[in-house]
């Protein structure tokens, strides 16, 4: 069911500000051109905003990782050609210039068409996923009835670009690493989708704005009805988080691109700008998945407390997105890398059964939605037990044969 489109006139001025700016630019044009230019402006806005976010994200990642490792991180590159350091804010610009000026080496035996197309296809598909995220109450670029499915379709097609990169390099190590990366991506596609199905079930809609609309309101006046604050939603969120980290090749699942693993995996034969494009596509994919996580579980653009409505909705979306990205960086700083057999085992033997059982718990939650206030504690306790029990049991099964290592000669 599509939610009724939000009435633009009833929202506050701050909410309408991006739309007013857009209309100021395009209102003079006749009708079909107006639609085309509105769409082009939306695309331009997404590209500009998320490319800048990508640049700042690389810097933020380096600084946060550095601070966790007791060092300051890049703090020298500032405004170019001046003395102002700005705490290292010019570092992304310096990195971009470096990448652009590097020589683009294509191995002689490589397949030139595929070698060129792989980063292009990857970046294009990663950018496509941004079209359905609801950035604000009035700011959905494309209102699709099956928005979540579109997101996953575009995301799944990126795996093909990875294979093209590994194959076109004509390097057996790249090919091997691309196959391993594909195995990782396919393994984690399933928990990702299975974690999202309960959300769709409870929201009753596949469209992203419908899912945000289903998380409206507050319990007891101050607890927001976000899906993450329910037992099944919390478990789904954790599974989604793990699978999203694996889908974007991010630590601790960054086996495909770690320097100690087959040099750089499928990226070995890429240098200069193409490498920067791969990098950008990976970060954009991570940002898009974080955006989807915010939409599905954290209430999208909704404010957490009722009296905070004056803050515009896109600011809330941005804040939640940045918080989730910070959690991704924090996880990268903390956990060691998983081996290929460890991560596939985690996916198939732990996350998939957990997600299936969680689906059952969510179905039970939906069936007991009509219970009165007296039975609510039972509902919550039952759901929590149904979520925690399998987690503990499956966790025991996963870590069954593992003991702390004993070193005989160390």
Partner 1 sequence: MLGTGLLHGLKVTARNLVGSFHDPARMVTTQYPEERTRLPENYRNFPFLLGDDPADPLGTLRCVACQICEKECPPQCIYIVMERDEKGKAQKRPKVFDIDLSVCMSCQICVEVCPFDAIKMDQEFEIATADRFTGLLRHKEDLARSNAYYHQLHPTEAAAVDAALAEQKARQAAAKAAKAPAPAAAPLATPAVPPTPLPPAAPAP
Partner 2 sequence: MIALAAIALCTLAAAAVALALRDLIHSALLLIASWVGIAAFYLWAGAEFVAFAQVLIYVGAISMVVLFAVLLTRPPTAPVSPARSGRAVPGFLAGGAVLGLLAGAVLSSPLPAGTDATPAFGVRELGLKLLVPHAGALLATGALLTVALLGAVVLAAGRGKEDAP
Q: And the tokens for 32?
A: 């079909």
Choose the stretch contacting partner 2; rule: CB under 8 A; options: 143-151, 291-299, 370-378, 384-392: 143-151
Task: Name the minimum Å distance from CB 327 to partner 1.
Answer: 9
Tell me which of 15, 61, 95, 189 binds partner 2, using CB under 8 A. 189
The three-class DSSP label of residue 382 is helix
Interface with partner 2 includes 114 (CB under 8 A)? yes
Rounded to whole angstroms, the Cα distance separating 228 from 53 reads 25
- Alpha helix (H) residue ranges in 204-339: 208-213, 231-247, 273-297, 313-334
- Integer distance in angstroms from the first to the last C-alpha of the chain? 64
Rounded to whole angstroms, the Cα distance separating 136 from 373 reads 33
Interface with partner 1 includes 69 (CB under 8 A)? yes
Rounded to whole angstroms, the Cα distance separating 318 from 324 reads 10
Task: Name the minimum Å distance from CB 252 to partner 1.
Answer: 10
Tell me which of 206, 235, 286, 362 binds partner 2, using CB under 8 A. 206
Tell me which of 71, 98, 172, 339 binds partner 1, using CB under 8 A. 71
Choose the stretch contacting partner 2; rule: CB under 8 A; options: 16-24, 94-102, 178-186, 372-380: 178-186
Nearer to partner 2, 189 or 254 (CB): 189
The full DSSP string for 99-128 is HHHS-----TTS-HHHHHHHHHHHHHHHHH
Quickly tell me which residue has 């004056």 as its tokens: 310
Task: Name the minimum Å distance from CB 193 to partner 1.
Answer: 23
Interface with partner 1 includes 70 (CB under 8 A)? yes
Nearer to partner 1, 71 or 98 (CB): 71
Beta bridge partners of 223: 219
Interface with partner 2 includes 153 (CB under 8 A)? yes
Task: Name the minimum Å distance from CB 287 to partner 2.
Answer: 20
Choose the stretch contacting partner 2; rule: CB under 8 A; options: 73-81, 222-230, 324-332, 346-354: 346-354
The DSSP code for 76 is S
Task: Name the minimum Å distance from CB 123 to partner 2.
Answer: 17
Tell me which of 6, 179, 333, 340 binds partner 2, using CB under 8 A. 179
The DSSP code for 265 is G
Nearer to partner 2, 403 or 408 (CB): 403
Rounded to whole angstroms, the Cα distance separating 21 from 139 reads 13
Nearer to partner 2, 247 or 261 (CB): 247
Interface with partner 1 includes 349 (CB under 8 A)? no
Please name the residues in contact with 220: beta carbons below 8 A apart, sequence gap of 6 or more.
none
Interface with partner 2 includes 393 (CB under 8 A)? no
Binds 114, which of partner 2, partner 1, none (CB < 5 to 8 A, cut-off by type)? partner 2
CA nearest to 191, candidates 355, 398, 344, 342? 355
User: Within positions 306 to 335, which residues make up the interface with partner 1, using CB under 8 A?
Assistant: 330-331, 333-335
Rounded to whole angstroms, the Cα distance separating 364 from 383 reads 8
Q: Are 65 and 333 in contact (CB under 8 A)?
A: yes
Tell me which of 146, 216, 378, 385 binds partner 2, using CB under 8 A. 146
Buried b (16+ CB within 10 A) or exposed e, 315-331: ebbbebbbebbeebbee
Quickly tell me which residue has 């939409």 as its tokens: 295
Q: Which positions touch partner 2 (CB under 8 A)?
A: 1-2, 114, 144-146, 149-150, 152-154, 156-157, 159-160, 163-164, 167, 175, 179, 182, 186, 189, 206, 341, 348-349, 352-353, 356, 401-402
Binding site for partner 1 (CB under 8 A): 64, 67-72, 75, 330-331, 333-335, 391-392, 395-396, 398-399
């Amino acid at each position: 069911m599509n939610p009724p489109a939000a009435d633009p006139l009833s929202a506050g001025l701050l909410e309408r500000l991006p739309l007013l700016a857009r209309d100021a630019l395009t209102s003079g044009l006749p009708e079909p051109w107006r639609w085309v230019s509105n769409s082009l402006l939306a695309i331009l806005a997404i590209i500009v905003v998320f490319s800048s976010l990508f640049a700042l994200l690389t810097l933020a990642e380096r600084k946060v990782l550095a601070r966790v490792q007791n060092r300051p991180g890049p703090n020298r590159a500032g405004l170019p050609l001046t003395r102002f350091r700005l705490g290292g804010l010019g570092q992304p610009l310096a990195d971009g210039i470096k990448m652009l000026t590097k020589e683009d080496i294509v191995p002689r035996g490589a397949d030139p068409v595929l070698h060129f197309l792989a980063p292009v296809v990857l970046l294009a598909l990663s950018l496509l996923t941004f079209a359905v995220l609801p950035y604000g109450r009035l700011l959905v670029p494309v209102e699709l009835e099956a928005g979540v499915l579109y997101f996953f379709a575009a995301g799944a097609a990126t795996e093909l670009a990875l294979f093209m990169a590994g194959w076109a390099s004509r390097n057996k190590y790249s090919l091997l690493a691309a196959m391993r990366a594909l195995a990782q991506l396919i393994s984690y596609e399933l928990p990702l989708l299975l974690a999202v199905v309960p959300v769709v079930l409870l929201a009753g809609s596949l469209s992203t704005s419908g899912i945000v609309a289903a998380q409206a309101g507050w319990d007891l006046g101050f607890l927001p009805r976000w899906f993450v604050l329910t037992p099944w939603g919390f478990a789904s969120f954790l599974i989604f988080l793990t699978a999203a980290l694996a889908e974007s090749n991010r630590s601790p699942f960054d086996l495909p691109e770690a320097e100690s693993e087959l040099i750089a995996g499928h990226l070995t034969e890429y240098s200069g700008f193409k490498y920067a494009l791969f990098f950008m596509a990976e970060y954009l994919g991570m940002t898009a998945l974080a955006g989807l996580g915010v939409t599905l579980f954290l209430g999208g653009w909704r404010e957490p407390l009722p009296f905070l409505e004056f803050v515009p909705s896109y600011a809330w979306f941005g804040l939640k997105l940045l918080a989730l990205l910070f959690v991704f960086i924090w996880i990268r700083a903390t956990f060691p890398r998983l081996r290929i057999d460890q991560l596939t085992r985690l996916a198939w033997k732990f996350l998939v059964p957990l997600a299936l059982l969680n689906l059952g718990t969510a179905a039970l939650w939906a069936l007991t939605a009509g219970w009165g206030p007296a039975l609510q504690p039972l509902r919550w306790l039952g759901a929590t037990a149904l979520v925690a029990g399998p987690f503990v049991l499956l966790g025991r099964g996963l870590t069954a044969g593992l003991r702390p290592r004993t070193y005989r000669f160390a």
